[in-house]
Structure 1
Amino acid sequence: MSILSEQLTGFFLDYWPHIALILSLAISIPTAIHAAMNKKEVRAAIGWVGVIILSPFAGSILYLIVGINRVRHSQITELRDTHIKEYVSYSSPPVTDLEKTFSAPFSSLQILGDRISHFQLRSGNHIQVLVSGDESYPAMLEAIESAEHSIALQSYIFDNDRIGKQFVDALVRAQARGVQVRVLIDAIGVKYSHPPVHRLLRQHGIRCALFMSISLLPTSFLRSPYANLRSHRKILIVDGRIAFTGGMNIREGFCSQYTNNHPAQDTHFSFEGPVVLQLMSTFAHDWEFTTNENLSYDFWCACVWKTPEPQVPARCIRSGPDRFLASTHSMLQGAFAIATKHIRIQSPYFLPDQVLMGALTTAARRGVRVDIVIPKHNNLRLVNAAMMAQIDQIIESGCHVWLDTGPFNHSKLITIDGQWSYVGSSNLDPRSLRLNFEIDIEIYCHNTAQKIEGLIDSCIASSENLTLESLAQQPYKKRLMNRVVWLASPYL
């Protein structure tokens, strides 16, 4: 045996470069072919193929871990295609007469939504705009306290802080009344507070699950959630009758009483009407994907609404790294294309790709007024640096960029021509547009659009206008650092 071992050792020492080359080719060629055949964006395909070829072993392992979307293609999309029509039942017909109250281009936008979303545009929805945690959390807690049979709550971040404990206590009381409660929190977002709130919920017997808490590798010390794919959705549905969604996570930093009257800002929305069914369908599929528990339509959805006036058309737009990839991207591209007067955008993380940037800059060159509000003091420094690195391309075309000097504003708001609004959880950055599971709602309503415009305009009134001159005055070292960070913007 010793002679054989010596011969094998000698063979390996003599030919190890050849062995390494053969192994690297055996690993890297199939992996690079997979990346080239499956990546839909040429930049992503080129990037992955380059990494794999230049570093065959490390690059291939990295691609196998974070480069392949193996999560939803074979599971949740099949579930949605099979059951979506069975799960959602309406008492109201789809909207077919938009041209009576909206300008002609919005009918084409409706057609775009019909082809992007599995949900139809439905009238009969009552919408309330809720500003900051001071308005949103009391309304949400009141709905939970009045729940009679069901509560479905989904959030990216659900902190175990003073406001988080108020939600936990309200959920515990609801369950004690016999209400069925389900809570879904993202596996990354739950880590924002310690100890994480899901432990507290489970101690009280609340059915709680973590979205995407999937182990990548069997080795215990390498186990971690699939951190690159996150559920960024924020949904609360009570009795299948009233729903809340928008940008609000559950955190005390958005409450005046816990921040010495200097809370961070955000905008949330309450809904009654058919769009609640669409939100419930979204939650139910995410819950079943995570837990394998099917939530029955008859129990979790209301059959009859007493929806107050005014009632308006609305629909959910889901997006995420599954069959709904680029849904929001396509909706916004279409919306920017039909604008004739005014585009207003408020986003904490404004990093549109070249396609959306082109749609905005083209609109500005067509004579459309484009106002974009971003925070002056961002809570994510790297994202802010990347934003500053490409914002000049927006300004050069005639778009107006405003730095909000007030408290950090987490709102995600878009309006077109004072008629159409797009609200929800999506930021205008690569993570929201490509990697996160998001939920947004398009709203055809003049009054709602005007309320949102008022919120954006009030921020503009106290903002600083960002100009090419002010960007050029930044120190060269800062501008260089911004560009370096910008190179990593798809992964921020």
Structure 2
Amino acid sequence: MFGDEAYWLAALFGLIRAQILAPLGLVVALALSLHILLTKRDVGAAIGWIGLVWFSPLPGGVVYLVFGINRVQRRARGLRDGPRAIPRDVPAGSPREDHLAPLERAARHLTRRATVAGNAITMLRNGDEAYPAMLAAIAGARASIALSTYILRDDEAGGPIIEALIAARARRVIVRVLLDGVGSGYFVSPAYRRLRRAGVRVARFLHSPLPWRMPFLNLRSHKKMLLIDGWHGFTGGMNIGAENLVARHPRAPVRDTHFAVAGPVLAQLVEAFADDWAFATGEELEGPAWFTTPDARGEAVARVVTSGPDEDVEKIELLVLQAIACAQRSIAIMTPYFLPDERLVTALALAAQRGVGVDIVVPARSNHRLVDWASAANIRPLLDDGVRIWRNPAPFDHSKMMVVDGVWCLIGSANWDMRSFRLNFELNMEVFHDDLAATLGAHMAACRGPRITSEEIAASPLPIRLRNAAARLLLPYL
């Protein structure tokens, strides 16, 4: 009897598969293939997605619908005509007449922002220097505070900042806090819960436990900025957590750099935060509490560069490519994760071939082993072409910076990987300033440990090379 039931169930399933699932799969595969052909710019990504939906139409189609469609770009377009719509014509700002003039013009075209002079930018090392300065700034706020960060922990480092934000609200300062919906805790976010209970306006960027909102899971806000009264602030790559209090010897210390910023470029930082806040909450920030005209405070010429899978797609990567192309003497890079795509690898290799000194500092060991493996398989062509890559000894250093020809600097949140350049929402700042360039250059030189050689990579055992090569296949997702 049970054999007959099994037979009829198998026959029924075969009928359903032949009469319903197969035609449905064909329709799904065809429809999604048309969508992929019309929307995917990257040929490799398009081929991969089309292969997936034809190999397994229904499960593959679900995966594509969840992770393959950029719904964030559609939402950004809806804000395009808002109060801070991107202008079509951008003033020249502070144009240059040297060999970096093409870089300045390209960045103006990419960002639709002008360079502004009169800024003071100071490097702060680790949370030991950055957090006290941030706390003092919050305590002195009189009109408004904006905080955007990927990670805010309610611990020895983040706890005092949370308390300071709550205290600022109690003295009638307008406070807005934007936390990433994954980085600051997807299921449980103590910092978010504590701020909200205290009445602080706080939002979680692209966060929802609802399954139909899961397409946003892979698109994170990696930006870090604290803005006080529209007059001064902080930006860079540092999260807020006890691991950055290196002088207190945490169990897993993370070194990092952040930057205090004062001057007219603060207006661009405020605009960037206001756009993100409107994107996440629908609330438009307006009025003199937010938008001011900061006085000149220094000699640096600067401009904010935002990037993300919305209207700012790939802008930081394109700016970096232009900077490499304009370099005549030197390129210095420091990054916690070094997984550039073929465009960047080729640009760096060509720079080295034409005689530019290219030095890259990476951690001896990062906090993601898979990234280290993939990076080891990705750097061989650079080493063969004369690019010098240096290991930064432990503890892990999360700093991100770039200097070209001792003049042009790039600081901010973006790592040198495809996730930062194409998926994450990032905020960097380009700065033309000899003194800052010298400070960053000296810092990177001091972090150089043993140099990685092509012979060392080639001499790795075959199992290690195979493991690294396999990890490299995940480069678009790391």
Residues 301-349 of structure 1: CA deviation (Å, up to 9, x unaligned): 223x3443x3221000110001211101110110000111110000011
For 1:372 and 1:241, the matched residues in 2 are separated by 34
Please name the residue that 1:33 is paired with.
34
Q: Does 1:244 align with 2:234?
A: yes
Q: How far apart are 1:484 and its partner, in Å?
A: 0.9
Please name the residue that 1:75 is paired with.
75
Q: Does 1:482 align with 2:472?
A: no
| Conserved? CA contact 1:213–1:225, under 8 Å | no
For 2:151 and 2:123, the matched residues in 1 are separated by 21
Q: For residues 326 and 14 of structure 1, do their structure 2 counterparts lie closer, same or farther at Cα, with a shift above 3 Å needed?
A: closer
Q: For residues 98 and 52 of structure 1, do their structure 2 counterparts lie closer, same or farther at Cα, with a shift above 3 Å needed?
A: same
Please name the residue that 2:112 is paired with.
118
For 1:192 and 1:456, the matched residues in 2 are separated by 34
User: Secondary structure in 2 aligned to 1:98?
Assistant: coil
Q: How far apart are 1:406 and its partner, in Å?
A: 3.2
Equivalent residue letter for 1:477: P
For 2:444 and 2:60, the matched residues in 1 are separated by 44
Equivalent residues, number: 469
Please name the residue that 1:21 is paired with.
22
For 1:378 and 1:252, the matched residues in 2 are separated by 18
Please name the residue that 2:5 is paired with.
none
| Conserved? CA contact 1:284–1:294, under 8 Å | yes
Equivalent residue letter for 1:146: G
Q: Does 1:406 align with 2:394?
A: yes
For 1:289 and 1:295, the matched residues in 2 are separated by 11
For 1:193 and 1:338, the matched residues in 2 are separated by 45
| Conserved? CA contact 2:117–2:296, under 8 Å | no
Alignment of 1:301-320 (within 5 A): 301-303=291-293, 305-308=294-297, 310-320=298-308
User: Secondary structure in 2 aligned to 1:269?
Assistant: strand
Deviates more, 1:165-174 or 1:360-369: 165-174
Residues 448-482 of structure 1: CA deviation (Å, up to 9, x unaligned): 1111001101112xx01000121123222111111
Please name the residue that 2:93 is paired with.
95
Q: For residues 86 and 217 of structure 1, do their structure 2 counterparts lie closer, same or farther at Cα, with a shift above 3 Å needed?
A: closer
Residues 143-190 of structure 1: CA deviation (Å, up to 9, x unaligned): 001000110000001112111101011111111111111100000101
For 2:280 and 2:403, the matched residues in 1 are separated by 34
| Conserved? CA contact 1:340–1:417, under 8 Å | yes
Please name the residue that 1:431 is paired with.
419
Please name the residue that 2:191 is paired with.
197
For 1:12 and 1:224, the matched residues in 2 are separated by 31
User: Secondary structure in 1 aligned to 2:114?
Assistant: coil
Residues 351-399 of structure 1: CA deviation (Å, up to 9, x unaligned): 1110011110000000000000000011111111111111111101100
1:159 to 153, 170, 178: 153
Please name the residue that 1:332 is paired with.
320
Q: Does 1:58 align with 2:56?
A: no
For 1:452 and 1:261, the matched residues in 2 are separated by 27
Q: For residues 262 and 481 of structure 1, do their structure 2 counterparts lie closer, same or farther at Cα, with a shift above 3 Å needed?
A: closer
Q: For residues 192 and 471 of structure 1, do their structure 2 counterparts lie closer, same or farther at Cα, with a shift above 3 Å needed?
A: farther
| Conserved? CA contact 1:159–1:193, under 8 Å | no
For 1:477 and 1:12, the matched residues in 2 are separated by 44
For 1:191 and 1:338, the matched residues in 2 are separated by 41
Please name the residue that 1:286 is paired with.
276
For 2:227 and 2:335, the matched residues in 1 are separated by 25
For 1:328 and 1:16, the matched residues in 2 are separated by 48
| Conserved? CA contact 1:158–1:185, under 8 Å | yes
RMSD over aligned Cα, in angstroms?
2.3
| Conserved? CA contact 1:314–1:443, under 8 Å | yes
Q: How far apart are 1:118 and its partner, in Å?
A: 2.0
Please name the residue that 2:121 is paired with.
127
Please name the residue that 1:44 is paired with.
45
Equivalent residue letter for 2:96: L
| Conserved? CA contact 1:160–1:194, under 8 Å | no
| Conserved? CA contact 1:155–1:185, under 8 Å | yes
For 1:344 and 1:14, the matched residues in 2 are separated by 64
1:348 to 336, 353, 369: 336
Equivalent residue letter for 2:403: T
Residues 34-59 of structure 1: CA deviation (Å, up to 9, x unaligned): 11210111011111011111110111
Q: Does 1:446 align with 2:434?
A: yes
Percent of aligned pairs sharing the same letter = 39
Residues 185-212 of structure 1: CA deviation (Å, up to 9, x unaligned): 0001011896531011112111110000
Equivalent residue letter for 2:243: G
Deviates more, 1:366-375 or 1:268-277: 268-277
Equivalent residue letter for 1:45: A
For 1:193 and 1:454, the matched residues in 2 are separated by 41
Deviates more, 1:19-28 or 1:428-437: 19-28
Please name the residue that 1:471 is paired with.
457
Equivalent residue letter for 1:479: R
Equivalent residue letter for 2:55: L
User: Secondary structure in 1 aligned to 2:289?
Assistant: helix
Equivalent residue letter for 1:161: D
1:271 to 253, 261, 275: 261
For 2:379 and 2:463, the matched residues in 1 are separated by 17
1:143 to 109, 130, 137: 137
For 2:118 and 2:187, the matched residues in 1 are separated by 39
For 1:12 and 1:263, the matched residues in 2 are separated by 56
User: Secondary structure in 1 aligned to 2:304?
Assistant: strand
| Conserved? CA contact 1:278–1:316, under 8 Å | yes
For 2:16 and 2:131, the matched residues in 1 are separated by 67
1:256 to 227, 246, 249: 246
Please name the residue that 1:4 is paired with.
none
Instruction: Structure 2: give runs of 5+ residues left out of the alignment.
Output: 1-7
Q: For residues 55 and 149 of structure 1, do their structure 2 counterparts lie closer, same or farther at Cα, with a shift above 3 Å needed?
A: same
| Conserved? CA contact 1:122–1:314, under 8 Å | yes
Q: For residues 473 and 180 of structure 1, do their structure 2 counterparts lie closer, same or farther at Cα, with a shift above 3 Å needed?
A: same
| Conserved? CA contact 2:264–2:295, under 8 Å | no
| Conserved? CA contact 2:407–2:434, under 8 Å | yes
Residues 267-321 of structure 1: CA deviation (Å, up to 9, x unaligned): 1111112211111111111111111111104221223x3443x322100011000
User: Secondary structure in 1 aligned to 2:124?
Assistant: strand
